[in-house]
Amino acid sequence: MEMERMTRARCPISGFFPFSAPLCLAAFAAFTTTSLLPPVLGESVVEAVEPSVLHLPRWLSCNGTDWTGLSSTLSATSLLPWDESKDPFPGLPRICTHLDEDLVMWMMGDLLLPNWPVPGTEDVWEKIRKLQYRCGQDVVGLQETEVSCVDPPGEESLCLYGLVSAEACMSVMFARYPDALASLWHTALLSAKMLRWLLHSERKMLEFLDSSGWPFSLEDIGNIVHVYADALTEFEDSSPDEPGVRIAAYLRPAIRPWSLDSESGRSAAAAARASLAMVASWRWQPSLRGSCPPDPKEAAARSIRIWAFGTHCSVMAEPVASIAILMPEEFQLDVAWHGTADYCGHHSGDWPIVKADHGPMRQLYEKHWTSTSKNVDGHKDSLQDLEGFLQAFQNMLADDADFQKADLALCSEPAIACLPMHRAGRPVIGYFGVHIAFMVDGYDSQVALYSGFTELAKDPRNTLATKSPYISWQLYGHLPLKIPAIMPLSLYTQPALYSGTLAQGVLLNKRPVHFWDRRLMLETIARHNNFDWIFFDANELRGARYQHWCSYRAGVYFPYDWLQTMAFFDWVNMGIPTFVPDTPMFTFTHQGTNSKTAWPATMWRPPREVFGYQYSDWNDLEGRVFWWQLTDFKSLPGVQVFTSVAQLFQGLASQERLWEVSGQLRQAHLVRTVSAADFWRQAILRALSR
């Protein structure tokens, strides 16, 4: 195949090459039928969202640019006659099914090679990200003169999702015809590698792909990356002798792992349901006086002194607020707060409100705490000189009058602080919002941590819990402890409840790492399609009270590296209709919940038939489905999920429906309140037993 093939005359439709006469005609048909109806819409959108007029920003669709021809050409490939019984690689997307060397050479020569990032130069994709911010930050009341911020001229911008689609087409066609395209093996592997990088990216560059109108979906990308996973590993640093044959031997079957209609997807989802059921059955032992709680009158209005250490104010506040508000006639809490700094100042109510700490315990923590971004696959936060930290911590406990008088100790993040509290002789309640090895680097240090927790769990006065079944299941893969999950009640937000009085306002969660300006994108799509919704970034509402959050029409929560945040629980517990994008892509977290390298140590290996998926195995695309189904986003009743902006707008359209969703969230909250109250009562009574 010579490069001259890429210079053939165009098909008599602007933007199309004559890859074949049938494809030219199919492309024309695709162009005329899809220009007004982007594939993202389909038939699922309610009447309030008119699909015939939905306009997408050029950032996403690239309409009116030189990339438009590629979009319609790829869509046209799915319209050509195709005998699935003769598919050389069944299970791959029904796009780019036919061998078309001209299409391949055009994509490679004009689209892929010129636009791939070159080491030592500015990332061409970073240029796209920066172009979003040429207009002012205030997109409310977007003026016509500012439309170029989200609809840049075609010649100024690379089409990100056009490039993604070209890479997907190249990967699909090579997998189907490795012999015929053997000379392009390097381009095919590089295309798959780029797709994998984009899928793994902490900036979630693909999160609007299913809203872009391009024919490949996130589910398709997950399938392609699965197919190439072993080949990318095998030929990472070497070249195959016979490329077509050798690479084909390392391609996995296209099992469509991210589709819940496939056997693979159904298997992962079923395993997640089984794991959730197991965690729900876990009870912390021993339960005081058997399975029934004692007569509350025995401990009525007893004063309980708690010495608490942890950095996250809301996580620390959760058990204290629950006990104080739900059991005021049984327990009167007096809490000495230490170490607290993150997310303080938002809480209110008639309970021992958490306060920021600037004393010696916080100073000790800050002396040993370090933060770096060098290890992109691990965590940037860690405690240095762990032995020195633990020894100094224990020495300070010995001299702390409040600790010596305390009835019990409360610990959270970093969890390693629980160990010196236990060794100092106080009953310990541990409540964890992240993996207990967070901030503990090194295999040996983590083994020592797990060993310490195993000993701590043997003391019948102590109680451990996580705030999410996901975390409990993660920990079960490291040490043989069945730690119950007690989801937050967020009672510290009272009396705030959903009101929806700001009918035009939609709340977006804060997210520290991102590629797309979500507010700009959603605002623009809404305005272009005659919706008067205004999107507000919570990061710019610092200082806003919980009741203000409740006044928004709904909330849209985009997950990031930490999959279990208190803000999400606060939203749903206050009854705010909450929408979450639905894709296993969010389980790729470099410096958060599912790091590949942060927690390598383990004390045991659970039976594979029970614990079949490892959160750190990013090559297991089926496993990503399992961990995604395990998240609170998917398992909490009432949380709404969407795969495209069209589906999101459908969910936002009816205020009556939003009130129904809020009711579902509040009902689920009441159910959790019953079990949480019993758990925390048992924890207090257990700590007070002698």
Higher pLDDT, 533 or 145: 533
Q: By mean pLDDT, which of 296-300, 305-309, 414-418, 620-624 is the weakest?
A: 296-300
In the predicted structure, residue 115 carries a pLDDT above the cut 70? yes
Task: Name the residue among 353, 355, 357 with its Cα closest to residue 494.
Answer: 353
Position 649 scores a pLDDT of: 95
Mean pLDDT, rounded, for 282-303: 62
Other beta carbons within 10 angstroms of residue 112's beta carbon come to: 20
Distance CA 1, CA 191 (A): 19
Task: Name the residue among 314, 308, 311 with its Cα closest to residue 546.
Answer: 314
Q: By mean pLDDT, which of 122-136, 346-360, 541-555, 598-612 is the weakest?
A: 122-136
Position 28 scores a pLDDT of: 37
Handedness of CA 445, 451, 452, 457 (dihedral sign): positive
Mean pLDDT, rounded, for 347-373: 89
What rounded mean pLDDT belongs to the chain? 85
Helix (H) or strand (E) holding 443: helix 443-458
In the predicted structure, residue 526 carries a pLDDT above the cut 70? yes
Percentage above 70 pLDDT, the chain: 83
Q: By mean pLDDT, which of 163-172, 237-246, 340-349, 573-582 is the weakest?
A: 237-246
What's the start-to-end Cα distance of the chain, in Å?
Answer: 83
Q: By mean pLDDT, which of 126-130, 427-431, 500-504 is the weakest?
A: 126-130
Distance CA 97, CA 87 (A): 8
pLDDT in tens, 574-631: 999 999 999 999 999 887 888 888 899 999 999 999 999 999 999 999 999 999 999 9
In the predicted structure, residue 329 carries a pLDDT above the cut 50? yes
489, 318 Cβ separation under 8 angstroms? yes
* CATH topology for the 279-489 domain: Rossmann fold (3.40.50)
127, 156 Cβ separation under 8 angstroms? no
618, 12 Cβ separation under 8 angstroms? no
CATH tag, 492-672: 3.40.50
CATH 3.40.50 placement within the chain: 279-489, 492-672
Position 137 scores a pLDDT of: 42
Helix (H) or strand (E) holding 503: strand 502-508
pLDDT in tens, 19-71: 444 444 444 344 333 333 333 332 333 344 443 345 777 778 888 777 888 98
Angle between helices 263-281 and 621-630 (to 10 degrees): 40
Output the pTM of the full model: 0.89
Handedness of CA 456, 457, 459, 460 (dihedral sign): positive
Helix (H) or strand (E) holding 337: strand 331-338
For residue 624, the 8-state DSSP code is H
Mean pLDDT, rounded, for 245-256: 90
365, 375 Cβ separation under 8 angstroms? no
Helices (H), 532-688: 546-550, 566-573, 621-630, 632-635, 645-653, 655-688
293, 674 Cβ separation under 8 angstroms? no
Query: Cis bond leading into 559, ω under 30°?
Result: no
Distance CA 579, CA 641 (A): 5
Which residues does residue 410 pair with via DSSP β-bridges, in sequence order? Answer: 308, 429
CA atoms within 13 A on the CB side of 436: 33
Position 35 scores a pLDDT of: 34
Position 120 scores a pLDDT of: 57
Distance CA 466, CA 315 (A): 10
Q: Place 573 in a pLDDT band, splitting at 50, 70 and 90.
A: very high
Mean pLDDT, rounded, for 634-654: 96
Position 135 scores a pLDDT of: 52
Mean pLDDT, rounded, for 667-683: 97
Position 16 scores a pLDDT of: 37
For residue 312, the 8-state DSSP code is B
